[in-house]
Amino acid sequence: MNAQDLKNSILQLAIQGKLVEQKEEEEGTAEELYAQIQEERKRLIEEGHIRKKKAMEIADEETPFEIPPNWKWLRVSELGEVIGGGTPKTSVSEYWKDGDISWLTPADMKNVKGKYVSSGSRSITKEGLQSSSARLMPKGAIVYSSRAPIGYIAIAKNELSTNQGFKSLVPLIEGINEYMYFCLISRTSEIQSRASGTTFKEISGTEFGKTLVPLPPIKEQKRIVAKVEELMPLVEKYGDAHTAVTDLNEQFPVEMEKSILQYAIQGKLVEQRPEEGIAEELYAQIQEQKQELIENGKIKKPKKLTEITEEEIPFGIPDSWMWSRLGDIVSFDIGKTPPRSEGKFWGNDFWWVSIADMVDRGYIKETKEKVSALTLDEKFKNYLVPKGTLLMSFKLTIGKISILEVDAVHNEAIISIYPFVNEDYITRDYLFRVLPFMSIYGDAKSAIKGNTLNKTSLNNLLIPLPPIEEQKRIVERIEELLPYTKQLIK
């Protein structure tokens, strides 16, 4: 249960008569309080301050829950006068300049802290008040926004007025406004359910007045208010603690996954086995395979990469591993986007991958767009990348990585990666786990331009390289452990 749910529960218990005990011998009944309200209404009608209104009966099926026998169900309009608001013409400066009557809009209510409100961002003059449907309400009135949104609420700390976005309540007798403040908060979802409108929902004065509220004796109201105000600071503390725990619960699986992968690339996730050889042997095999591809014309001879210095190495690795640059162990292709202005390149023949299509550390089964077969034939050609290829983003979003489950082409913000030695996709799957981490360790000076790794910095990315069989065991261990972190997230 979050803090808002707890607050709602407390207020619901309060208006059901379950938050404090009933003390009939000292409090009387709500009927007696209602009689006082009726007497005051009669007096105000006779003096011409308010109009006489027809009473609205309450059917048993309307009441939403049981209340104590000494309480009484009433409609809001029976407890006081429901008042709307208005806006003086903004073009008439006399209605606004040097105004000293506080004037509220629903937007002002966003900034109200606590139970009381005294002013908004603007004030109006007496002339402005008289020229519009705005009404001057007394201190203690309950200000309630009726649209955009419905349910901002506060008690007037002084005389004030509102615009037409309110249906406020001026109680007929003093002393009930603080209970009604909490009661209306609790009844707001029901009030909202009766709102109407297409552009935005609004509750009319008539509908607001029909709202059913449970009325306790006045002394019990005071005890209810005191109890609620005693509990609310505790609810806030609970909310802070709940948020902290929720954040921890959300972050812990993510941090656990990062720790697993960090252990993996540092050689701490599985044991090293001497019989599996050393990374230098794998590296020699990679160079042989690369040379063969060069001699067969399948790849161009790359520029020799610089030696790795001690200063570059970000962390320690086992003695049987070695540090390598990405360009020494893989070849990669940068994609290209066909001209958007030439419709012939866009169609339904081949999947076309953008960064938005990439499932981070996941698999691409389909894309939002496709290109035509002409894309592979004309001068603006992208190469068809085979199913099973590793893709990594290197612009804007660096290190987002996916594996293709379909043949596809991709744009220029993505590289397709081809390990020179890739027995049973072992190196691909190892890089699938490693590259999101290692891409942040690239040549910073080359990588800083607009959050983009360039071709040089891609080639120079440092990769911790284990023997091939250990790579396989690392991947198997990661795939064994990561589902547990997903369960924690759920």
Question: pLDDT tens, 205-232?
Answer: 999 999 999 999 999 999 999 999 999 9
Average pLDDT over residues 144-155: 95
Does 276 or 50 have the greater pLDDT score?
276
pLDDT of 133 higher than 50: yes
Residues 36 and 141 in one domain: yes
- 78 within a domain of the structure (yes/no): yes
The region of weakest confidence among 176-180, 335-339, 434-438, 444-448 is: 444-448
Query: What is the per-residue pLDDT for 447?
Result: 44
d(CA 418, CA 376) in angstroms, rounded, equals 20
Residues 296 and 444 in one domain: yes
Residues 309 and 422 in one domain: yes
pLDDT of 129 higher than 50: yes
Average pLDDT over residues 170-199: 94
Question: What is the radius of gyration, based on Cα positions, of the chain?
Answer: 36
Query: What is the per-residue pLDDT for 228?
Result: 95
Amino acid type, 332: F
Does 247 or 267 have the greater pLDDT score?
267
pTM of the model: 0.60
Secondary structure element (H or E) that encloses residue 395, with its range: strand 390-395
Query: What is the per-residue pLDDT for 448?
Result: 38
Q: How many H-runs (helices) and E-runs (strands) does the chain carry?
A: 15, 20
Query: What is the per-residue pLDDT for 452?
Result: 63
- 255 within a domain of the structure (yes/no): no
Query: What is the per-residue pLDDT for 442?
Result: 54
First to last CA, the chain: 16
Residues 221 and 344 in one domain: no
Burial environment of residue 211 by CB neighbours within 10 A (0 to 12, 13 to 18, 19 or more) = buried
Residues 120 and 205 in one domain: yes
State which of 220, 237, 254 marks the end of a domain: 237
Inter-residue contact 134 to 128 (CB < 8 Å) = yes
pLDDT of 386 higher than 80: yes
Supply the range of the domain harboring residue 146: 3-237
State which of 237, 254, 284 marks the end of a domain: 237
Residues 225 and 311 in one domain: no
Q: In what order do the strands lie in the sheet with 369-371?
A: 369-371, 346-353, 408-410
pLDDT of 195 higher than 80: yes
- 104 within a domain of the structure (yes/no): yes
Question: pLDDT tens, 196-211?
Answer: 988 889 999 999 999 9
Does 59 or 154 have the greater pLDDT score?
154
Average pLDDT of the residues of the chain: 90
- 21 within a domain of the structure (yes/no): yes
Q: Which residues contact 141 (CB under 8 A, 6 or more apart)?
A: 83, 155, 156, 160, 168, 169, 170, 171, 177
Task: Dig out the tokens for 351 from the structure.
Answer: 């999947």
pLDDT of 490 higher than 60: no
| Secondary structure (DSSP) of 317-351 | --TT-EEEEHHHHEEEEE--PPPTT-GGGEEEEEE
Residues 121 and 202 in one domain: yes
Amino acid type, 299: I
Query: What is the per-residue pLDDT for 451?
Result: 56
Question: pLDDT tens, 271-301?
Answer: 999 999 999 999 999 999 999 999 998 888 8
Average pLDDT over residues 246-255: 74
**Length of the chain as a residue count:** 490
- 258 within a domain of the structure (yes/no): no
Residues 202 and 351 in one domain: no
Task: Dig out the tokens for 234 from the structure.
Answer: 């505790």
Which whole-number Å values give the CA distances from 222 to 14, 22, 178, 180, in the listed order?
11, 12, 8, 11
- 125 within a domain of the structure (yes/no): yes
Inter-residue contact 420 to 397 (CB < 8 Å) = no
Query: What is the per-residue pLDDT for 441?
Result: 62
Query: What is the per-residue pLDDT for 449?
Result: 44
Residues 283 and 220 in one domain: no
**Phi/psi zone of residue 236: left (φ > 0), alpha (ψ -120 to 50 degrees), beta?**
alpha
Burial environment of residue 293 by CB neighbours within 10 A (0 to 12, 13 to 18, 19 or more) = middle
Residues 175 and 318 in one domain: no
Residues 439 and 394 in one domain: yes
Question: pLDDT tens, 423-474?
Answer: 889 999 999 998 888 876 655 444 434 456 788 888 988 999 999 999 999 9
Q: What is the CATH number of the domain that holds 177?
A: 3.90.220.20
Instruction: State how many domains the chain has.
Output: 2
Task: Give 214's strand partners.
Answer: 73
State which of 237, 257, 289 marks the end of a domain: 237
Amino acid type, 370: K
Average pLDDT over residues 68-74: 94
- 246 within a domain of the structure (yes/no): no
Residues 189 and 301 in one domain: no
> Dihedral of CA 120/121/126/132: which sign?
negative
Query: What is the per-residue pLDDT for 87?
Result: 97
Does 439 or 63 have the greater pLDDT score?
63
Query: What is the per-residue pLDDT for 74?
Result: 96
- 251 within a domain of the structure (yes/no): no
